[in-house]
Chain A
Amino acid sequence: MSTAHDVWDRLETLPDYGLVALFILAIWLLLSLFAALVGGPQAPNLAAGFVSSVTVLIGAFALLTLALNLQWGYTGLFNIGVAGFMAVGAYTTAILTAPTNPAAGAVPGLGLPLGIGLLGGMVMAAIVGALAALPALRLRADYLAIVTVALSEIIRLFVNWNGVAQLAVAGVEFGTGGATGISFTSPSGIVAGVVNGPFSPLVAAAESLGVSGPNVVNFVYGLTLLALVVASYWVLSRLVNSPFGRVLKAIREDEQVTQSLGKDTRLFKIKAFMIGCALMGLAGALFRGSAGYISPAQFRPGITFYVFAALIIGGSGSNTGSILGAATFSALLFYLPARLGEFFPNIGGQAPGNVVDAVAALGALDVSPLVAYTIANISTLRFVLIGVVLIYIIQRRPLGLLGHRNEPAASVDLRRPAAADGGEPRDARRASSARGSDGGGDDE
């Protein structure tokens, strides 16, 4: 345990980008090792498949977690309607970019380029966020949670409604496609065009190593998402370290004090909410719509809680922690267990078809059917694991991996020149305990 602490302490001295890069590299390595273990001759392609899928997941979840961190971690707005704002962004992008003369049975759109579509999606998500925020932000945190989750379900039910599946306004036909969904310009298709075009020698080189072309495209798509994460991270860290960000942190700590200092806190909260929603809209289009198709079933509230789990694992209030949490969640809790079930299906023999047969064998002191049943159903059990991890973290480490980091709301360095004994100055200590007053001081 103490060695683990030592390693963690040493890792924490790394610059943040180094920490994140090292973490993602370690995940890639772990998945490659797993692929080498189970893949046999197909190992390189399997490894590429694992790595590219997990990179896309990490990128998408990191974008969502960063957005939620701005709303909850920095401003204290408990938004659990993430899925709804993702849906607004994704559907706006889809309607703007779907072809004007689609295949038979599909819904036409406005046929605009993808870049405009994504921008439109972000703007629309921000507008809906503002409309939701205007009345809702004066509510208590738990009421805001219920309002936002209800709103996200209303949005999903609305796009699912066949009354808006196909409309004609002033001669222009468009729609959401109802329950069957809508096809539009595929973001990963555009990446595929670039990869297979100017970079085709790279694909040929990869194929000579046994890695298939689609895996290369998927990996590059994941890297594109990671690049977007880097860009959002940069913008958000500039933002939260600006005077604007200091007001947000002050609102989180004590809204009444901030108000009494003459800040219009509602305006600040609405702005922060809109920026977060815009980012969620972008992530919705690029993550759920990566293959150029979305349907209402992809925007159920479940996804919201996965983003929450990622943020809590990473530690709310820390952008670096958000990315680490997203990587931990999507790689180790969400992706890897499902692959374990897929590639170790027959440990302990053929899995019984139901839990009764599996447990009945225990009477004969035979554990193997239960083990086999458990492994065969591990993609269900991973959600139990996610739930248990969530409970464990909120009980034992409520600040997550990096939430204990000290981010005071002051613009000047509050630390006094280092004391002779090297002890932490009192002011900084107080600033950090103000943030973690709910009992998470065990990291020091």
Chain B
Amino acid sequence: MGLTESVSNRRQLPAGLSGVSVVVAVLVYLVVDLAVKLTGTTVLAFGFHVIGGSLSVGSLLSMVIDGLLVGLAVGLAGIGLSMTYSILDFANFAHGDTVTAGAFLGWVAAYVVAGLGSGAAFADLFLFDTGQQLSVISAFLPVLIGLVVAGGGTVGVVLLVDRLTYRPMRGSDNISLLIASIGVALALRYLIAFVFGTQTSGVASSGARLQLIPGLAVTDNEIALLVVSVGLMLGVHLLLQRTKLGKAMRAMADNEDLARVTGIPTERVIRLTWVLGGALAGIGGYLLVLESGTISFNFGWILLLLIFAAVIVGGIGSIYGAMAGGVLIGLVDSLALIWLPSGLTRAAAFAVLIAVLLLNPSGLFSGVSTA
């Protein structure tokens, strides 16, 4: 096994190296181009646009902030995907719909709490039909309660799904589990559509704007996303560093049989993995809706590939990788607008995903595993 691996590695080395050098060359060009664009000059050669253009510092900064915010929420949601990928060893295609489920649970709770006593019909509150737009400033308590429900409710959903679907299949090969997760994704997504309908609802809009520099402002909802996601990432970091659970998870990701022999209660660790990953996915979805303002039954499904990109770019199994990968993918998704037309920015994020998988499947932070 070891021998064949090293032989095939050597054979693939030249291809990998040339691929990496192409990527480096492209990156260097983009950085130089960005610098030239910021000075506002355009370099032409034989009438062709070679480098440069114009871009204001303000619009660059607002793109960076946009990408950072989306990236943080994607990274938060990606932690759960990364953990199940490394500990249960399968790509969970239902993770995007878990994010949606959390967002719906949380926002229903927030809406119902915000509408209590307003005389609005329960059905209208439940289906976001009152036309009310929540923000952190105007409805702090409902938004906070929604956040907690999003986390807790998603844990319930995820544990139920695990009990019904994955637990009878422990030990199956990763492709069988992947296919089961596709079934879970379909069932979850269309159950949400059955209850809430397929329309897109506006639920949140900013209550206040904070002017940073002229032409650049952040809203209260965006600040909330930043604070909560950074806080949660810090919390996960402490949990995994300072508790036995983190060590147990790392041991299981490394070798499940060995972990069990050592006396680690593997089934309990798996359940805690789902609890942690599910809560973070639900809160990630809730925060994404807080930032974007709208919710629909398939937004998590659409986001799934972006979450996969974050997890893979950061290295599967690495919590910090998922966080960093999320921010990186968020930035690519938003900064690609500088060089690409708006229809292709998402494609650029997926291209990064493919490039990382082909050139360095263990991710940019390979070697740094969980905690």
B169 within 8 A of A: yes
The docked-state distance in angstroms from the alpha carbon of A383 to that of B322 is 31
Q: Is A443 an interface residue (CB 8 A)?
A: no
Residues of chain B from 143 to 184 with CB closer than 8 A to chain A in the complex: 164-165, 168-169, 172-176, 178-180, 182-184
Is the C-beta of B237 less than 8 angstroms from some C-beta in chain A?
no
A356 surroundings in chain B (CB, below 8 A): 122-123, 126-127
The distance from the CB of A301 to the nearest CB of chain B, in whole angstroms, is 8
Q: Say yes or no: A78 contacts B347, CB within 8 Å.
A: no
B119 at the interface (CB under 8 A from A): no
Which residues of B1-21 have CB atoms within 8 Å of chain A's CB atoms?
4, 8, 12, 15
Stretch at the interface among A118-126, A140-148, A186-194: A140-148
- Interchain CB contact under 8 A, B357 and A355: no
Asked whether A380 and B358 contact (CB < 8 A) given A142-B174, A354-B123, the answer is no
Q: Is B193 located at the chain interface by the 8 A CB criterion?
A: yes
B57 an interface residue at 8 Å Cβ cutoff? no
Stretch of B44-52, B223-231, B266-274, B338-346 that contacts chain A: B338-346
Interface string of A139-160 (1 = CB under 8 A from B): 1111101110111011001101
Contact A305 B305, beta carbon cutoff 8 Å? no
- Nearest CB of B to A38, in Å: 23
Interchain CA distance A157-B357 in the complex, whole Å: 20
What is the 8 Å Cβ interface bit string for chain A, positions 420-444, against chain B (1 contact, 0 not)?
A: 0000000000000000001100000
Residue contact A153 to B350, C-beta cutoff 8 Å: yes
Q: Among residues 152 to 201 in chain A, which have CB atoms less than 8 Å away from a CB atom of chain B?
A: 153-154, 157-158, 160-163
In the complex, the answer to whether A151 meets B344 with C-beta atoms within 8 Å is no
- B165 contacts across to A, CB distance below 8 A: 391, 395
A139, A153, A162, A384: which contacts B191 (Cβ < 8 A)? A384
Q: Which residues of B contact A360 (CB under 8 A)?
A: 123
A391 contact set on B, CB distance < 8 A: 164-165, 180, 183-184, 187
Residues of chain A from 295 to 340 with CB closer than 8 A to chain B in the complex: 305, 308-309, 312
The minimal Cβ–Cβ distance linking A369 to chain B, given in whole angstroms, is 12
- The 8 Å CB contact of A438, one of B126, B176, B196, B309, is B176
Given A141-B175, A312-B179, residue A387 in contact with residue B190 (CB < 8 A): yes
On whether the beta carbons of B193 and A147 are closer than 8 Å, the reply is: no
B195 at interface (Cβ–Cβ under 8 A)?
yes
> Could you tell me which residues of chain A, from 11 to 55, have a CB within 8 Å of some CB in chain B?
none
> Cβ of A139 and Cβ of B186 under 8 Å apart?
no
Residues of B273-317 contacting chain A, CB below 8 A: 305, 308-309, 312
A357 (CB) vs chain B CBs: closest residue: B123
Q: Which of A146, A158, A380 contacts B357 (CB 8 A)?
A: A146
Q: Which residue of B lies closest to A373 (CB)?
A: B194
Evaluate contact between B194 and A438: CB separation under 8 angstroms: no
B197 adjacent to chain A (CB < 8 Å) = yes
Least CB distance, A364 to chain B, in whole angstroms: 16
Query: Which single residue of chain A is at the shortest CB-CB distance from B174?
Result: A142
Q: Could you tell me which residues of chain B, from 324 to 371, have a CB within 8 Å of some CB in chain A? A: 341, 343-344, 346-347, 350-351, 353-354, 357-358, 361
Cα(A136)–Cα(B351), bound, Å = 13
In the bound complex, residues from chain A placing their C-beta under 8 Å from that of B123 are 354, 356-357, 360
A145 CA / B357 CA spacing, docked (Å): 11
Whether, in the assembled complex, B39 has its beta carbon less than 8 Å from a beta carbon of chain A, the answer is no
Other-chain residue from A256, A377, A387 in contact with B183 (beta carbon distance below 8 A): A387
Whether A384 lies near B350 (C-beta < 8 A) is no
**B185 close to A (CB within 8 Å):** yes
Cβ-neighbour of A390 out of B126, B186, B190 (below 8 A): B186
* Contact residue among A140, A147, A161, A394 (Cβ-Cβ distance under 8 Å from B343): A161
The reply to whether B190 and A381 contact each other, CB–CB distance below 8 Å, is: yes
Residues of A within 8 A of B95 (CB): none
Q: Let me know if B182 and A384 touch, CB within 8 A.
A: no
A230 interface residue (CB < 8 Å to B): no
Is residue B91 contacting chain A, with contact meaning CB distance below 8 A?
yes
What does the 1/0 interface line of A395-410 toward B look like (CB < 8 Å)? 1001000000000000
Interface mask (A276-300 → B, CB under 8 Å = 1, otherwise 0):
0000000000000000000000000
Contact flag A256-B126 (CB < 8 Å), given A147-B357, A157-B347, A161-B341: no
A76 to chain B, nearest CB (A): 9
A383–B190 contact, CB under 8 A? yes
Residues of A within 8 A of B346 (CB): 153, 157
Contact A394 B176 (CB under 8 A): yes
* A394 x B357 contact (CB < 8 A): no
B193 CB contacts on chain A under 8 angstroms: 380, 383
CB-CB under 8 A from A238, the residues of chain B are none
Give Cα A312 to B196, complex, Å.
30
Chain A residue contacts of B122, Cβ below 8 A? 356
Taking a contact as CB atoms under 8 Å apart, the answer to whether B195 and A139 are in contact is no
A414 at the interface (CB under 8 A from B): no
Nearest CB of chain B from residue A298's CB, rounded to whole Å: 16
Contacts of B351 in A (CB 8 A): 150, 154
Task: Answer whether residue B250 sits at the interface, using C-beta atoms and an 8 A cutoff.
Answer: no
Known: A162-B343, A391-B180, A394-B179. A383 touches B186 (CB 8 A): yes
Give CA–CA (A135, B169) in the complex, Å.
Answer: 32
Tell whether B107 is near chain A: CB-to-CB under 8 Å: no
* Closest chain B residue to A306, Cβ basis: B186
* Complex: A388 Cα to B15 Cα, angstroms: 43
By the criterion CB–CB under 8 Å, are B179 and A154 in contact? Answer: no
A337 CB, min distance to chain B CBs, angstroms? 12
Is A386 in the interface zone, CB < 8 Å from B? yes
Query: Residue-by-residue, is A350-364 near B (CB-CB < 8 Å gives 1, otherwise 0)?
Result: 000011110010000
Q: Cβ of B90 < 8 Å from any Cβ of A?
A: yes
Within 8 A of A (CB), among B183-241: 183-191, 193-198
Contact of A138 with B by CB under 8 A: yes
Contact with B along A255-283 (1 / 0, CB 8 A): 01000000000000000000000000000
Query: Which residues of B are in contact with A by a Cβ distance under 8 Å?
Result: 4, 8, 12, 15, 90-91, 122-123, 126-127, 164-165, 168-169, 172-176, 178-180, 182-191, 193-198, 305, 308-309, 312, 341, 343-344, 346-347, 350-351, 353-354, 357-358, 361
Q: Given A141-B174, A163-B343, A356-B123, 15 other A-B contacts at CB below 8 A?
A: A78-B175, A139-B361, A145-B91, A145-B178, A146-B357, A147-B354, A153-B346, A153-B347, A154-B350, A157-B346, A157-B350, A312-B179, A360-B123, A386-B183, A391-B180
